[in-house]
Amino acid sequence: MRTLILLALLVTVGAGCAPSQAPAPTVPLEGVAPHANEANCTKSGGKIESGECACPAGYDTDPAGFCLDAQGRPGGEMAPKS
């Protein structure tokens, strides 16, 4: 009987630990390039076109907004000097 009461108490206390607030709504990005990190794009040799980062030929955009080559190195002024 004691075990049943303790179990019921734990379930009741645990139910109060759930978050009571809904997550905050996301804020839309503002500015010239809402879908690109403009600073990272231009530093790595890309240009902002239609709100997106357009990388030079042979480079692809990574999630942080840099233009990276096939080896994962950024282009433009961010590229390592050889």
pLDDT digits (tens, 9 = 90+) for 1-20: 888 787 777 777 665 555 56
pLDDT digits (tens, 9 = 90+) for 27-42: 554 555 667 888 899 9
pTM of the predicted model as reported, rounded to 2 decimal places? 0.53
Does residue 35 form part of some domain? yes
Positions of E strands within the chain: 47-49, 52-54, 60-61, 67-68
Does residue 46 form part of some domain? yes
Q: Which of 43, 47, 74 is nearest to 58 (CA)?
A: 74
Does residue 7 form part of some domain? no
Tell me, what's the pLDDT at 47? 93
Tell me, what's the pLDDT at 74? 86
Show the domain range for 45: 31-60
The count of structural domains within the chain is 1
Tell me, what's the pLDDT at 14? 61
Read off the pLDDT band of 25 (50, 70, 90). low
Tell me, what's the pLDDT at 59? 93
